[in-house]
Structure 1
Amino acid sequence: MDLAALKALKPSEYQAAADGYRATSEMAGKAGEALDSRISAGIRNQLSGETAKAALRELKELSKDFHYAAAECALAGAALDGFAFDMAAAKRKLEAALEDAAAAGCTVGADGSVSFPAGGKEVDGKVPEGGTVRVSTSPADPTSAALERQAVHMHPNPNFGKAVGFADRIGDALKEATDADVKWAPKLRALKADDDLVVSDKDWIDVKSDTAGVRDAGKDYFDSLPRPPEHDDPKKNAAWWQGLTDEQRSDYLSAHPDAVGAMDGLPATARDQANRTVLDEAHAKARLDYDAWLKKHPEPERYQPYIDPYTGSMPKGLSVESQEWKDWEEARKKVWGPVGGMEAIEKRFDYTDESKRPYLLGFDDKNNGRVVISIGNPDTADNVATYVPGTGTTLSGIDGDIHRAEMLQDRASLTDPTHTTASITWLGYDAPQGLLTDATDAKYADAAREPLSDFLTGIDTAHHGSVNSTVLGHSYGTLVAGETLRDHPDLPVDRAILVGSPGSGVDHAKDLHIGADQVWAATARNDLVNLAPPPAGTLAPLNPMAYWRLFNDHSVMYGNDPTSDEFGGQTFHVAPGKLPGSDGLMPAHSQYWEGDSLNNMAKIVTGGNP
């Protein structure tokens, strides 16, 4: 970067180009949304057959193209803004140096050299002559810098020292501009997409790499923007977001999608946009990892001849699955699990009704995974139900939990068609995985109290009006919900539903701070959670109350049974459920989203009484 180029450079032109890329990103996003919400939804609602299926497959790929284009164009806009910011800083330094040099009577040449006039005390009857100082864009080593300071001190013309200072400032500005050019050029080149219409898994891996590159290169630019709150305070998050310009929001979202997607209090549309990018990147990596695993672990022979354990003979034509294949299949399913969970989320984007549009409000594939998804827009819905699942919930098995939210939203819409309902699955915590091990420890709920509180506060903060909010806990999720309500008296929650509960962390409904008459509980007669033991120690053999408690106590693992009279809340009717062992170990524990139970929960969620 030379003096003429930096003087002529106009950062505003790059900012204008950034605006163009942002506009393209927005158009691509709207085009993809239109494909999903109108065109594809219309085909699903009105057509069937192989032709319709083929059309939907092609439209799905086109929708992916638009989403990819939206992400990359937004990144290009952020990169150009970052480049313009860096170059504007260098240009300001150059212009300040040139102005100061002119004011001091110095002349700056086309190569950046600084000519200074004669000046100083006469020596042998002559005023020390002027001269020229060459500019350098190379960093000076300590020895050179020391020699330069010595030369300035010894030079008889004081204008020499001034010229040296101006030359150094010009050199610094040129070096800063050169460094910015060198830094940003490869980042911008990396944003060039493949010349095809197929968005592959590798393309999304590149998006993640591009995002990291833009974020790192643009650190100074992003640091110049209003900083987001250090802690997840929904109200402060909302104020920060509202304080940004549209351009700043776009840049921050494109470079920090994981941070924006996790911020409680932000609009559902912004969080959804950010989290879908995070999901696409994670899905692509998981699929590539799965393919690599298959290549490294080829499928063994599935069947082997059956050997009669009594006779040792091998009946002709009779075969069984080999143990080697069974072990391989178990390992394969474990590797595939997160991929299947992500695809279960993505298939919700193929909705047929705008009222059932999904909003991905949180996503993380680390460990067992975290997923927060709303069926319906929680920012505009009259009723919002937040379902907290319990033991065993993971990203791999999230399909069933999302389906529960869908069923509740659908039934609530039928129950109260004059008001809209958004139904959320909130797996925003690390759920315990073992029924007889992890689930007996409250530490998972303890760690979930603040995240759930922030989320529920964020829903209220981002809402466009008043909202009827219900938190629905199932199994261990009732403990998470109960502890959260217990420890946050001012939480914006109107009603609570506790189903299949081993206890909610309190002995009395009033301790949940929403009014005992707004706390509803139910447990199916055949649900084995009824056998949840009292708190540890209450059945100690030498405890005189032990035998009384055994037959007449209503305490369960985490406080009083929410369906007991002692708890003091409301109860509602549910079917007995299937007997243990008739369809798995605890079938009744998973039957609350059907029949009378679902109808009654829908009535509660919409503000009625079952």
Structure 2
Amino acid sequence: MDLAALKALKPSEYQEAADGYRATSEMAGKAREAIDNRVSAGIRNQLSGESATAALRELKELSKDFHYVETECALVSTALNGFAFDMAAAKRKLEAAMEDAKAAGCTVGPDGSVTFPAGGKEVDGKVPEGGTVHVSTSPTDPAAAALERQAVNIHPNPNFGKAVGFADRIGDALKEATDADTKWAPKLRALKADDDLVVSDKDWIDVKSDTDGVRDAGKGYLDSLPQPPKHDNPKDNAEWWKGLTDEQRSDYLSVHPDAVGAMDGLPATVRDEANRTVLDEAHAKAQLEYDAWLKKHPEPERFQPYIDPYTGAMPKGLSVETQEWKDWEEARKTARGPLSGMEAIEKRFDTYTDESKRPYLLGFDDKNNGRVVISIGNPDTADNVATYVPGTGTTLGSIDGDIHRAEVLQDRASLTDPTHKTASILWLGYDAPQDLLTDATDAKYADAAREPLSNFLTGIDTAHHGSVNSTVLGHSYGTLVAGETMRDHPDLPVDRAILVGSPGVGVNHAKDLHIGADHVWAATARNDLVNLAPPPAGPLAPLNPKAYWRLFNDHSVMYGNDPISDEFGGRTFHVAPGKLPTTDGLMPAHSQYWEGDSLNNMAKIVTGGTP
């Protein structure tokens, strides 16, 4: 970058180009939304058959294309804004140096050299002559800096020192511009798509790489924007977002989709947009990792002839699965677990039929066991919002069933109260315990979830467009998470609580949940094995007689009084007895609250009624 190029450069032109790419990104986003929310949903709602299925398949691919264009063009816009920011800073330094040089009587040449006039005390009857200092950069080495100072100090013409300073400043500005050009050129070159119409997993991996590259290169520009609150306070988050311009929102969203998607208090549409990008990137990564696993672990022979253990005979036509294949299949399911969860989430975006059932991805993280927060219906505009907190064993890989619970509750609530809109949220915003006999006996998982759940519920209230009837629905260990959160946050914007299959909620009385005991509803199926949960009795609970105190005292359970007991003081509702243990898995009744009378009664509570 030379002097002429930097003088001629107009950062505003790059900002205008950034505006153009941002506009293109917004158009692609609107096209994607039209395909998903109107065209595809309309087809699913009105048509069926092979032609409809084929059309939906093609529309899904087109939607992916638009999402990719939306994401990449937003990154290009941010990159151009970052480049313009860096170059504008360098140009301001150059212009300031040249103005100061002119004011000091110096002349800046086309190559950046600085010519200074004669000046200073006469030496042998002559005023020290002027001269020219060639463009340079401020020395960073202490020894070089010392030599420069020495040369300035001994030079008889004081204008020499000024010229050296101007030349250094000009050199610094040119170097800064050159560094910016060198930094941004490869980043911008990387922001291009393959020469095809298929958005592959590799393309989304490249999006993640592009995002990281633009974020790192644009640190100076991004740091100049209004920064998000340091503490995750939903109200502060909302004010910060409202205070940004459309351009600033786009730039921050393009390079920090994970941070925006996790911000409680922001609009559901914004969080959904951010988390959909995070999901697509994570899905691509998981798919490639799973493909690599399959390549490394080829499927073994599945069947072998059946051998009668008594006679040693091999009946013709009879075969059994090999143990080697069974072990491989178990390992395969484990390897594919997170990918299956992501596909379960994506399935909701591909199958909903109208706006009232539109899913919003309010949180997503594939690290460890995974985090998923998804709302069926828009919580910002719904009259009723139910937030379901699942319990032991919940992971990203098993999330399909939990999303289904949120769906059936929303569907039943909409039938129960068709005059008001209901949004039903699955909140897996914490690390759920994974083992019934060890993890679930420890309150540490609920302890760590109290602040995240409190912030989420406060954020829902903050982002809402009006008044909202808010219900927290806890299941199993999730009731402890809900109970502790309400216990420790007296001002939580929650109107009602539903506690099903509970081992205790961290309090002995419903009034300690701060919403009024008559607003706390609980139910446990007669055949739910959670009824056998004993009160805590130390690390050797199974061997400690105190662990079985509940056989004689019908209200004390693992985490306080049983919510369905009279001692707890809340209200109860009817649920079916449920299936007997081991008739359909170990604890079938523990998972039957989202059907029959139980579901009907929960829908009545969620919509403000009485079962």
Structure-1-length-normalised TM-score: 0.98
Change (3 A) 1:26 1:314: same
For residue 52 of structure 1, report the CA deviation from its aligned partner.
1.2
* 2: CA distance, partners of 1:152 / 1:505: 76
Residues 543-575 of structure 1 show CA distances to partners (whole Å, capped at 9, x for unaligned) of 999987532331011111100110000101111
* Larger CA deviation: 302-311 vs 379-388: 302-311
The question of whether the paired residues in 1 share the 8 Å contact of 2:42 and 2:354 is answered with no
* 1: CA distance, partners of 2:255 / 2:550: 58
Residues 455-513 of structure 1 show CA distances to partners (whole Å, capped at 9, x for unaligned) of 00111111111111000000000000000000100100000000010101111000000
Aligned residue number for residue 240 of structure 2: 240
The question of whether the paired residues in 2 share the 8 Å contact of 1:538 and 1:546 is answered with no
The answer to whether the aligner puts 1:390 opposite 2:400 as a matched pair is: no
Counterpart of 1:71, as a letter, is T
* 2: CA distance, partners of 1:477 / 1:324: 37
For residue 35 of structure 1, report the CA deviation from its aligned partner.
0.4
For residue 237 of structure 1, report the CA deviation from its aligned partner.
0.9
Unmatched segments (≥5 aa) in structure 1: none
* 2: CA distance, partners of 1:2 / 1:201: 42
Counterpart of 2:193, as a letter, is A
* 2: CA distance, partners of 1:195 / 1:89: 36
For residue 317 of structure 1, report the CA deviation from its aligned partner.
2.2
* 2: CA distance, partners of 1:121 / 1:569: 96
For residue 227 of structure 1, report the CA deviation from its aligned partner.
1.4
Counterpart of 2:164, as a letter, is V
* 2: CA distance, partners of 1:248 / 1:563: 51
Aligned residue number for residue 280 of structure 1: 280
Unmatched segments (≥5 aa) in structure 2: none
The question of whether the paired residues in 2 share the 8 Å contact of 1:138 and 1:175 is answered with no
For residue 314 of structure 1, report the CA deviation from its aligned partner.
2.2
* 1: CA distance, partners of 2:395 / 2:540: 33
Structure-2-length-normalised TM-score: 0.98
The question of whether the paired residues in 1 share the 8 Å contact of 2:414 and 2:422 is answered with yes
Aligned residue number for residue 192 of structure 2: 192
Change (3 A) 1:537 1:218: closer
For residue 280 of structure 1, report the CA deviation from its aligned partner.
0.3
Aligned residue number for residue 516 of structure 2: 515
Equivalent residue runs for 1:395-474 within 5 Å: 395-474=396-475
Residues 258-305 of structure 1 show CA distances to partners (whole Å, capped at 9, x for unaligned) of 111111111111111110000000000000000000001100000111
For residue 537 of structure 1, report the CA deviation from its aligned partner.
6.0
Aligned residue number for residue 586 of structure 1: 587
For residue 48 of structure 1, report the CA deviation from its aligned partner.
1.3
* Larger CA deviation: 36-45 vs 136-145: 136-145
The question of whether the paired residues in 2 share the 8 Å contact of 1:539 and 1:547 is answered with no
Residues 507-531 of structure 1 show CA distances to partners (whole Å, capped at 9, x for unaligned) of 1000000000000000111111111
Aligned residue number for residue 203 of structure 2: 203
Aligned residue number for residue 128 of structure 1: 128
For residue 141 of structure 1, report the CA deviation from its aligned partner.
3.7
SS of residue in 2 equivalent to 1:490: coil
The question of whether the paired residues in 1 share the 8 Å contact of 2:564 and 2:572 is answered with yes
* 1: CA distance, partners of 2:546 / 2:213: 65
The answer to whether the aligner puts 1:224 opposite 2:224 as a matched pair is: yes
Aligned residue number for residue 298 of structure 2: 298
Change (3 A) 1:543 1:581: closer
Identity of counterpart residues, as a percentage? 89
Equivalent residue runs for 1:69-218 within 5 Å: 69-137=69-137, 141-218=141-218
Change (3 A) 1:164 1:473: same
Change (3 A) 1:571 1:164: same
Aligned residue number for residue 343 of structure 1: 343
- Matched residue count: 610
Aligned residue number for residue 353 of structure 2: 352
Counterpart of 1:192, as a letter, is K
* 2: CA distance, partners of 1:165 / 1:411: 76
For residue 145 of structure 1, report the CA deviation from its aligned partner.
2.5
SS of residue in 2 equivalent to 1:184: helix
Change (3 A) 1:466 1:193: same
Counterpart of 2:493, as a letter, is P
Change (3 A) 1:506 1:476: same
Aligned residue number for residue 332 of structure 2: 332
Change (3 A) 1:171 1:346: same
Counterpart of 1:248, as a letter, is Q
Residues 96-115 of structure 1 show CA distances to partners (whole Å, capped at 9, x for unaligned) of 10110000000001111000
Counterpart of 1:471, as a letter, is V
Change (3 A) 1:553 1:194: same
Change (3 A) 1:138 1:190: farther
Aligned residue number for residue 370 of structure 1: 371
SS of residue in 2 equivalent to 1:250: helix
For residue 147 of structure 1, report the CA deviation from its aligned partner.
2.0
SS of residue in 2 equivalent to 1:552: coil
* 1: CA distance, partners of 2:547 / 2:358: 52
* 1: CA distance, partners of 2:124 / 2:2: 40
* 1: CA distance, partners of 2:121 / 2:315: 117
* 1: CA distance, partners of 2:29 / 2:275: 14
For residue 541 of structure 1, report the CA deviation from its aligned partner.
12
Aligned residue number for residue 315 of structure 1: 315
Aligned residue number for residue 603 of structure 1: 604
* Larger CA deviation: 533-542 vs 303-312: 533-542
Counterpart of 2:470, as a letter, is S
Change (3 A) 1:117 1:283: same
For residue 436 of structure 1, report the CA deviation from its aligned partner.
1.3
The answer to whether the aligner puts 1:476 opposite 2:491 as a matched pair is: no
Equivalent residue runs for 1:459-608 within 5 Å: 459-536=460-537, 550-608=551-609
* Larger CA deviation: 49-58 vs 153-162: 49-58
* 2: CA distance, partners of 1:467 / 1:493: 9
* 1: CA distance, partners of 2:541 / 2:296: 54
For residue 139 of structure 1, report the CA deviation from its aligned partner.
5.5
* 2: CA distance, partners of 1:577 / 1:78: 56
Change (3 A) 1:442 1:148: same
For residue 196 of structure 1, report the CA deviation from its aligned partner.
1.0
For residue 182 of structure 1, report the CA deviation from its aligned partner.
0.3
Aligned residue number for residue 23 of structure 2: 23
Residues 159-210 of structure 1 show CA distances to partners (whole Å, capped at 9, x for unaligned) of 0000000000000000000000000010011001111110000000000000
For residue 138 of structure 1, report the CA deviation from its aligned partner.
8.3
* Larger CA deviation: 575-584 vs 179-188: 575-584
The question of whether the paired residues in 1 share the 8 Å contact of 2:536 and 2:547 is answered with no
Residues 417-468 of structure 1 show CA distances to partners (whole Å, capped at 9, x for unaligned) of 1111110000000001111111111111011001000100111111111111
For residue 50 of structure 1, report the CA deviation from its aligned partner.
1.2
For residue 540 of structure 1, report the CA deviation from its aligned partner.
9.1
* 1: CA distance, partners of 2:550 / 2:388: 32
Counterpart of 1:556, as a letter, is V
The question of whether the paired residues in 1 share the 8 Å contact of 2:519 and 2:571 is answered with yes
* Larger CA deviation: 383-392 vs 544-553: 544-553
Change (3 A) 1:460 1:168: same
* 1: CA distance, partners of 2:51 / 2:424: 33
Residues 574-605 of structure 1 show CA distances to partners (whole Å, capped at 9, x for unaligned) of 11111111111111111111111111111111
* 1: CA distance, partners of 2:539 / 2:186: 67
SS of residue in 2 equivalent to 1:121: coil
Counterpart of 2:51, as a letter, is T
The question of whether the paired residues in 1 share the 8 Å contact of 2:139 and 2:145 is answered with no
The question of whether the paired residues in 1 share the 8 Å contact of 2:550 and 2:557 is answered with no
* 2: CA distance, partners of 1:179 / 1:138: 15
* 2: CA distance, partners of 1:6 / 1:607: 66
Counterpart of 1:40, as a letter, is S
**CA RMSD after TM alignment:** 1.7
